[in-house]
Structures are given as structure tokens and as C-alpha cells.
Chains A and B, each alone.
Chain A
Amino acid sequence: MNQNPNSDASIYDADKAISSTSGFTVNSVQRKGSAPTPLEVLHGVEARMGSAEELVSRYAIPARDAEFAQTTPDLDPQIIDHLKASGTWPLYRHQARSLTKSLSGEDVVIASSTASGKTLCCTLPVIDAMVKEPGAHALLLYPTKALSQDQHRHLRGLIDGIGLSLETGIYDGDTEPTLRRRLRRSGRIILTNPDMLHASVLPNHGGWGAFFANLRYVVIDEVHTLRGIFGSHVASVLRRLRRICRHHGSDPTFIAASATIQNPGEHVSRLIGRDVKVIEDDGSPRGHKEVVLWNPPVIEKPDGTLARRGPTSVAVKLLPELVRRGLRTICFARTRNSVELILRYIRERAKGARDREEVADRIEPYRAGYLPSERRQTEASLFDGQLGGVVSTSALEVGIDVGGLDGCIIVGWPGSVCSFMQQAGRAGRRQGESLVFLIAGQDPIDQWFVRHPDSLHESSPENAVIETDNPYIVARHLICAAYELPLSGEDSDLLGEDLTAMCTVLQEEKRLREEGGAWYLAREEYPATQVKLRTASEENFTILELGPENVIGELDYVAAMLSLYEGAIYIHRAETFIVEEMDHVNCLVKIRRTKTGYYTQVLTQKKVTVTEEWSHREVPGAGSRLAEVEVRTRLTGYKKVRFHSTENIGYGEVHLPPLELDTVSHEISLNRDTVLQSERFGTAFLRSGMHGVARLFRDLLAMRAMCDPGDIDHHVDDNLIHIFDLYPGGIGYSELGHELHLSMMSDVLEAVTECPCAAGCPACVLPGASRIESALEAEVLEYPFPKEATRWLLHLLLGKESYEPQLEGIPAPCENPMIPVPPLLDARVERKIRKVARLTSRRGRQR
């Protein structure tokens, strides 16, 4: 049997790592004979760059041998010949198991690490069906357009390599009408995303010729991203897909691929609505990997106060160093702005020295906002080794194959164990050593990991949670399904046993009409356009550079509002531009190249206004109310921030409409009496307590509702705590909070009491991430006894006898939240942080 050439390689033996040839090595870049190995580079870095204090911890993930398949799956000989010729033979054990299951028609989910050959598990059965059955069709779903592009290139490579002639194509919002027509008529393998499937493919299933009648496989990639509200919508879309297939007489086999999550089998079963087999025992080889946790140093500021330096300061030095020493490295930053800042600082530092400039020129940025063609270019040159390094947002975390990298720098905790594992997995894909650096930020959660470095490799990845019986979601999709085909009681096996009852309600509300035992839409409409699977807007702003009149990028609506207001300094590929005009009608932003010493940060203010009260009741210490609210995020202005020093050098005004969300909120309005009682401890005490309660209530509610914590948000204002659904029209979570108010409050108190920390930690009452919103936030963040304040407030809200807070002793670890202000967090990052906080809280209680 073919042994993995790297199996017995000593981790220090560079030559073996380089000469290994198993698996995909199309992109292998031969290192020059004298180049140092990653571990040698690490020794150098440790010796020269970081003090022992900064290098908090280091642990190794040992190399692992390949486990090859003992049996041969029943693939067509043409395919096997091609795999042998391209060096992908023998298959790994988990690949063979997954293929055998798929080929016999069982639904599977493959949950394994990055680069373990999941793609082949998904594509080989599809191609096999194409060879064996001349009429077979397949549908491949990817969460993003970029991923479909990438995967289509792979698929074409495989098909052309085998020498088949098959019509395949991407069917998404960017597809030309003529190509769309051709794919509908004769496409054998279609790649698309859930949104397109929902809004365009399923409603027009009649126009897809033989596609649905002969659908053999449905492949769903990156299923771990299909979670929360989005995932719950996709679950309904997949049930609609199965119903359409049944109508046309097919019953496709599902193949799902997931990153490592806690519950792949359960998650995918719920997603597709029937049991799946889980393939988990990863047989792919893995190279030795070192994970280093790095805490930036504390420095004295000019005014004598001490502050920890930001994580970018380390990344700016470390990335060029790794690239210079020949390690291809990816650097993950949390926001688009940080990506630009890191790149800009690297370029600035390199100025004047030729060798450093050469290194800096081999580092490119990657984020949303660039032209798709530019992004493809960066992916390709990273893959083929032309680029030495890339600075990216989490956009490169999912799927897209950028080849095996030697190093990965993660600037600030990425928000979840799942994300951390994905990002770290970008380095060292098959064999050879690799390095991962996690540079801690100033957020409480980052510093918590610094104090508990063991939990970094002990943490298990999160559960992916979806809700398949949320009436808000199910009812919306029933209406969509009625457009596609009349609904009848027979559909209840797919669309839920409440189908008839739901349809009756929808009929009474005049959305459906019954005729001959079937329900039809009661009026002419195209309901799919009214149901969005994701909350993010699909509208894009085009960014035009005045002068050369070039389109240099595009950005989605919310991101554009937050970074492309008039007067903003927009950093694009490390160059500064000033925004001259934001044209809302045509979704066009005009910017002009300009040299500035500062960048800008938008200031926002959130306000929650009740538009209609649904129900109200008195609870101890407060009133609990369920209401329809309007959440307005007003852009109050922007501040100018000097590069490097991050000092504030001025303000500007923003004239933009607020971002609005109409949703449902659970409101806890503190009694006059409660507020009066708190006065003896000061306003910061009460605020801190309210934030503590709000934050924990929200996290625990997410657990109760089985939803993603990022689908709920909270806001504290005056004597009010608002806990609302982050979905237009509401989705039922805050209603649950209102119903379970008291029992939720006792859960919150239990979580606080049982947390072993002294004065508060990110696992209980500390905010998951620092925010820049207002002075009030700072007041709350700096308050030293948040746990006591929360406990005191909880006793009142539960009607217990009053609690005497201990307002002395060791203060909570507050990490100078004011300096330097991190760029505005985007919502996803915030969501991930909360997820981690929830996770650690569970572990805390087990102890």
C-alpha cells in the first residue's frame, strides 16, 4: 500500500516536507534549498520579536499520517483512472466511506477539517452519476457567489481531466440571461446559492425542462454557515426543493460538507428533513502545526497612563517578517478597515528599503468591497505562490482554495471557536510544518483567553442551531410553496404536520384559497421576492474614482452607509480617498484620490422606539412588555483619526438617513422604585447592572429559543432594557422572552452566581466586545464591579430580598476600553464574540 511519504517525517526535517507529493500539490512552490523551515522561523521570531511576556503560550498540534481506504468505492473506471493519473489515489479512508454511502443513495454529511478532501466526496458521486446515467442532473449549493466560482473551476478541471463533455454552469444573480436560458434547457450540473434557489429556480421549476425530473444529487457545501435565521430559512427552501422533485418524480440524494462543528449529523438532518449518515473520522494527513498566543505589550502613553498596544501593531511587523523568510502567510483581521490599516502600515514601514519594499509588494489585501475580478486575481496568485502574503477579512475563511499556506496570523479573537479553527486551518494544509499566531486584542474576551490559554485548544466548536418549526419562517415559505405548486395535505410529510392548520389560518387571512382539496395563492403575486433569506441587503453601491473615472469596487448597502458617507476617508488597497458624493438614487459613490494623515470612523447612536404595544404585565421591580418597535441606528457624525497614534483630530457631520429595522421587542422597564433604590450606588452602577442583565438575558434566551445569539440584540436606554429580534417583522424570540420573563431571570441569576470569577468576566456579565457607541458605554465598560451590580439588580427583578453588593476588592479586568478605539465592529463579528462568551460560560459552570 502506498504510504504517505511524509508520514514519518520529523517535524524538523524540512526536506521531507518539501519533497512530499501525495495529494494535491499542483501549487507546491519549491522552497530554495537554504530557506528556513517554519519552525526555524518561529525560533527566530521568538528570539527577536516578542518578549516572554508577550508570547503567552504555545502549543503544538502534532503531525498525523494519512489513513488510506482499504476498499474501492464503486466508481466508474474512467474516474478511477483519472484519480490515479492525477495522484489522488488511493483515497483517504473517510473519502471512500463517504463515496460508498453516497453511491448507494444514502444521505451523508462529511464533517472534517479544512483541506481533508471534502470536495471530492461531493463531486465524485455527481460525476459518476453523469457517466453512468446519461440523463442525470445535479444541483450544487454554495453559500456565496465567490465560492460557486471557485468550485466551478475545480469541477471543470475534474470533468475536463476525465475527458467528459458535460454542460455545467453557475446560475446566480450575475448570470447572463442567455446563459441562464441555456443552463435551464441543457445544464447537467448547476451551481447556485440558497437565495437564488429560493427566489428564482424553485418558483420557475416548470421552466427547467428535465432538470428536476432527473435530479440525482443535491450537494450542500459549508453547511455550518447555514445556521440561525438564515439556516432556518434554508431548511424551508430545501423542503420546498424536495417537494418540487417529488412532483417531477425524482428523489435526489443529499451530500453535505461541513467544517468541524459540534453537531453535524443533527444539524444536517434538521436542515434537509431526514436522517443523514455522518462521516467524521478524517483520514487525511496533517502536518505539524504550532499555535502561538501573543499578547501585545503594555506601553506607557505620553500622559503617563498605561495601555496595551493594539494587535495590529504586532501583525504589521510579523507578517512581513514571515513573508520575508519565505513563509506564505495569511493574516486575518476582523474588519475591512483593519485590513486596509495593516496593509498601509506595512507599506509605510517598508518605504525606503528596497528589500522590504519587495516583501511589501508581495502582500495583497482581500476583503468585500473590491471588484470580483480583483478578488479572483488575488485568490489565484495566492494559490500559485506569486503572492507571499495576504491580509484578509473572514471572507477568505470559508472554502475558497488558496492552496497550502505556511503561516496564519489571526489579529484579534475571531469570535467563535469554529471561526478560529477555520482560520487556523488555512495554514499547513496537508503536510509540512505551519505556524498559527493568535494576536490578542484589547477586548475582554481576548484577554480572557490570554489568562486561560489552555481553553484555546480545549474548546470544542459550537453547535450549529436552526429552527425548523418557527411559524414566522414556515408560514412565509408555505406561501412561496403555494406559488410553486398547489398545497395539499399530502405535503405535510415535507412541509410539517401543521400544514393543514397553517393553510387554514392563511386562508382565513386571505392569502390562500382552497379549491378541490388544494390551497392556491389567493391573489396574483410572486411571493418569493418578499421573503429574504438573509437580513443583509443585496443592494450594492458602486465606487467610482474621479479623475481616472474608474470603478474601483463595490460595497453592500449597510457597509457603504458606514464607510462611504460624504467626507469619509475611504482606504482602498492602502491608498486614501475622500468621498465626494454619495448618490443614493443610482447607488454610486464618487471618491477622489487624496493624501491624508487620518482616516475616519462613523459615530452611531441606536434608538429603540415603541410603535405598538402588544401586551404588558407587571413583574417584580419592573414592567414586562411585548411591543413592536422601530430600531433606528442614526449616523450622528464621524471623527477623524490620525494614522498610527489613533488620536482624535476632529469631527464631521454625516447627513444620511438612519438605518431602520422594524421588529418586535421584549421591554423590561425598571420601576421608579428600583431606580430610586439604586441611586445610592451611583448611575454607573445601575447602567452596568442593566447591561449585565441585558447581555446575559439575551444569550440565555438564544439558548432557550435554540437560535443563534446573533439573531437577537439588546439595547439599554434610560430605565429600559430592550431585547429584540434582529429580523424585520420579528421572528418570535423576544415573544418567548416576554412569556418566560421570570424563569429567564432566575436562569440569569444562576449564571451570574455560579460563574467562578470574582468581579465579572466575559463568560458572565462583561460585554463581549468593546463598542464605540457613546460615552455611556465607556462609563459602563469602566465600571469596576459589574457582577455585583448585575446581581443586585437581578434580586430586585426576581422579587427577592435585596442583595448587598460588595463594592470593593478586586475590580473586574477592564482593559482600557478607550484606547485606541477599535474600528466599528461589524455585526457578524459581534455575534461571534457573543457565541464564545456563551460557550465559556457553560464550561465555567461545569467546574
Chain B
Amino acid sequence: MNIDSVDIVTEWDIVAARQLGRNEAKKVGFGTVDQARITTAISELARNIYLYTGKGNIAIKEVTEGNLKGLLVIASDEGPGIADVRRALEDGFTTSGGLGAGLPGVKRLMDDFKIETVVGEGTKISATKWLR
């Protein structure tokens, strides 16, 4: 199992995270459309960390489940947490004036999406794309 990660502190780290994601997606064998989905999802998650939390981490890991192979992206931070997760997952909800497409977009780009958040402690988002 490969685990790679990038700390997200500056906007350059967003570029580093998505480049890592694209390389890993290529290695796993994803086609160009899924590579673009994964890269875009990572870019959005990394930008959320950069915009809202100041510091966090994007970890990318190859996973298997039975015969399925996939790529797991974990975005974690020790930021303020998300007070209203249900609303954060609604289309069009933003607290930054509409800069990011937000979590619903990431959810649509990936296959599995899980969010764990504690107000005042941080957020961990796990999103997986499975190779078909």
C-alpha cells in the first residue's frame, strides 16, 4: 500500500497535492476522465483547507476491496470544524463568497464520501474513487 501526503499551508501546496493525486491516479490505472475528477476533487479539498483552516494535510492512498482497486483521498485539518454538515453538503452553500464549488461537487466527483467533523477540533474528509 502506498501512502503519500502533502501538508497544506500555502497555495503552492494545493498545486503539489493535486500533482501528487494525478500521479497516483495514473499509477493505479485510472483513465483521463477519472484522473481529472480525482485531481479536481483534491484541488477543492486542499483549497478548503487553505481557505478555512490555515493548516492541514492531504493524504493519498491506494486501496483495495475484494477485486476492486481504488484511490483514497483523506483531507484532514485541525481547523474550526463544520457546524452544520448537512448545509455544507448542499449545493450553493458557501461561507467564502462562492470561491470554491464546495463539498457537494467533491462528493459528485468521487464514489465514496465520508465526513467526520468536531467543532473546535477539526475535520476529516475521506473520499474514494474506484477503478472500473
A binds B: no
Measured CB to CB, the residues of A under 8 A from B are: none
Measured CB to CB, the residues of B under 8 A from A are: none
